[in-house]
Amino acid sequence: MLQQMSKFWKEASSVIIVGKISFPKNGIGFPVLNSPNKNAVNIDKIKSERLCAPNFKVLLLKRSSKSSFMPNGYVFPGGNVDVADSSTEWRDLFDEYGFGKYVSGPDIRKFSKINIFESQRKDEISRSVSLRITGIRETFEESGVLLCKSRRAHSLTRPSKWASYLSGHEIQKWQKKVQENASEFISLCRNFECFPDIWSLQEWSNWLTPNDSPKRFNTIFFLVALDQMPTAFSSSSEIDELKWSTPEEVLDYCNKQKVLLPLPQFYELSRLINFDCIEELADFAVQRNSTGSELWMAVRIQTLDGEVFLLPGDDMYPHEPKFAPDSVQKVENTIMEYRRQSHKLHRLERNKEYNTRLIVSNIKPCENHILPYVAPF
């Protein structure tokens, strides 16, 4: 079914990179602002419930005001799938290092779920591999973080929760080349005798842009854990800023109208608040990786005082959502009135002042995943 609808959107891959920090109390990121409004994530309450400060931060980038999609939005690194990401050259490269069996042939997965892996094309390599290559390539293009293993230092005999990455002045010179031509990414790998660390990308979630949006993306999100926070840099004109910040800091800034967060970023950052320890987060991601992810598409409802994004499981979420383009549904209710009509609540509410909050009630976690942290309501 998803294949038939894929003409309405582009496919993309995004990487949620969490990096360990040595001194959790301070570091690069957003300052936490005072005087939270009643609709904001309550940072003080989160802090009081923690036994310790989180020992990790998340890498986010700010899209330029001239960006064609989500201008001024803070997002995780990622971007569109390119045909070069599924080239047979990747199979040859992995073969050289003895890992060809990991990238050849069809994906071994049961398509009991609707997700981005179902939209199989005649790719030359496994789709679960090519989508990871997309995420790694785009991460390098946008942040300069190269999630690759060195030929001289790699080892798969001792699995690690930590991803491998390479850095250096000579590697930085390749960023512009890869931005201009995705095929240059494999040239980079050959030049530095490395290969994408596909094993470190843990499948996390799959989001489809709402059906009323003019530009739509079916995006697979992977989570990657690093044992430190590497320096991030970008030569792209579409990126204004790169930041390592705690999830709380970003959500707090969003609710002060200082940054713009798309729905997937808001939701996934709220999930990460559940973790104080990056080691626990990394272990959790590895454990649930094999479960897979069902595609989620929020359904936007326009209310009298803002908008509501319904998510699967909510009483108001359609039994058979329309993946094809559609108009926004309007209701003659306020956000609160509309909320009171449901028992099972799984939604994001945003009023006209752009105060944003997740509402999750009477919802059970699915796919061995964790529900997001939500402020009391």
| CATH number where 204 lies | 3.90.79.10
Amino acid letter for position 59: L
pLDDT at residue 98 greater than cutoff 80: yes
Task: Find tokens 């009991």 and name the residue.
Answer: 112
Residues 19 and 96 occupy one common structural domain: yes
Q: Which domain holds residue 129?
A: 2-291
On whether the pTM is more than 0.85, the answer is yes
Identify the band that residue 72 occupies on the pLDDT scale cut at 50, 70 and 90.
Answer: confident
Domain boundary at 269, 291, 313, which? 291
Both tokens of residue 234? 């970008």
The rounded Cα 32 to chain-centroid distance in angstroms is: 23
What is the pLDDT averaged over residues 345-367?
94
Query: How far apart, in whole angstroms, are the C-alpha atoms of residue 140 and residue 211?
Result: 30
Determine which helix (DSSP H) or strand (DSSP E) holds 131, and give its type and residue range: helix 127-143
The pLDDT of 143-153, averaged and rounded, is 90
Within a domain: residue 372?
no
Residues 209-220 pLDDT 10s: 999 999 999 999
Q: pLDDT tens-digit profile of 37-58?
A: 444 445 455 544 555 689 999 9
Residue 154 has pLDDT above 60, yes or no: no
61 and 85 in a common domain: yes
In a shared domain, residues 355 and 258? no
CA 26, 285, 261, 227 torsion-angle sign: positive
pLDDT of residue 65: 80
Q: Does 374 reside within a domain? A: no
Does residue 354 share a domain with residue 210? no
- Answer whether residue 370 is part of any domain: no
Q: Kindly state whether residues 254 and 303 are assigned to the same domain.
A: no
Residues 230 and 315 in one domain: no
pLDDT at 374 over 50: yes
The pLDDT-based confidence of 104 (bands split at 50, 70, 90) is low
Examine the domain organization and report whether 278 and 329 are in the same domain.
no
Report if residue 324 sits inside a domain. Answer: yes
Give the closest residue to 91 by CA, choosing from 118, 136, 129, 148: 129
Phi and psi at 57, nearest 5°, equal -130, 165
Q: What percentage of the chain exceeds 70 in pLDDT?
A: 84
Which segment, 39-53, 155-169, 302-316, is predicted with the most confidence on average?
A: 302-316
Burial class from Cβ neighbours inside 10 Å (0-12, 13-18, 19+) for residue 140 reads buried
Determine how many CB atoms are found less than 10 A away from the CB of residue 272: 23
DSSP state of 314: S
Give residue 118's pLDDT. Answer: 65
Q: Quickly list DSSP for 48-68.
A: HH-SS--SEEEEEEEEPTT-S
pLDDT band at 1 (very low <50, low <70, confident <90, very high): low
Percent helix, strand and coil across the chain, each to the nearest 5: 30, 25, 50
Cβ neighbours for 316, distance < 8 A, ≥ 6 positions apart: 301, 310, 338, 341, 342, 347
| Mean of the per-residue pLDDT values of the chain | 87
Q: Which of 187-191, 252-256, 286-290 has the lowest mean pLDDT?
A: 252-256
Confidence band, pLDDT 50/70/90 cuts, at residue 122: low
User: E strands, the chain, where?
Assistant: 10-20, 56-63, 74-75, 78-80, 148-150, 194-196, 202-208, 217-226, 239-245, 295-297, 299-303, 306-310, 329-330, 345-351, 356-361
On whether residue 376 sits in a domain, the answer given is no
Residue finishing a domain among 291, 324, 340: 291
Is residue 377 in some structural domain?
A: no
44, 190: one domain:
yes
d(CA 58, CA 270) in angstroms, rounded, equals: 12
Task: Clarify whether residues 273 and 183 are in a common domain.
Answer: yes
pLDDT of 29 strictly over 80: no
Count of structural domains within the chain:
2
Q: Give the whole-angstrom CA distance, residue 335 versus residue 351.
A: 8
Same domain? 88 vs 187: yes
* Domain termination site, one of 237, 266, 291: 291
**Which of 68-77, 148-157, 205-214, 281-290 has the least mean pLDDT?**
148-157
pLDDT score at 49 = 54
Cβ-contact 248, 43 below 8 angstroms: yes
Percent of the chain with pLDDT over 90: 66
Which of 99-103, 131-135, 189-193, 373-377 shows the lowest mean pLDDT across its residues? 99-103
Mean pLDDT of 260-265: 94
Question: How many whole angstroms from its chain centre is CA 24?
Answer: 23
348 and 221 inside one domain: no
- Same domain membership, residue 351 and residue 324: yes
- Burial string for 286-314 (b: 16+ CB within 10 Å, else e) reads bebbeebbebbbbbbbebebbbbbbbbbb
Question: Which one of 107-111, 130-134, 158-162, 258-262 scores highest in mean pLDDT?
Answer: 130-134
Given a cut of 60, is residue 155 above it in pLDDT? Answer: no
- The SS3 call for residue 338 is helix
- Beta carbons within 8 Å of 20's beta carbon, 6+ residues apart: 55, 56, 225, 226, 227, 228, 229, 278
Bridging pattern class, strands 78-80 and 345-351 = unpaired
Q: Are strands 56-63 and 10-20 parallel, antiparallel or unpaired?
A: antiparallel
**What single-letter DSSP state applies at residue 248?**
H
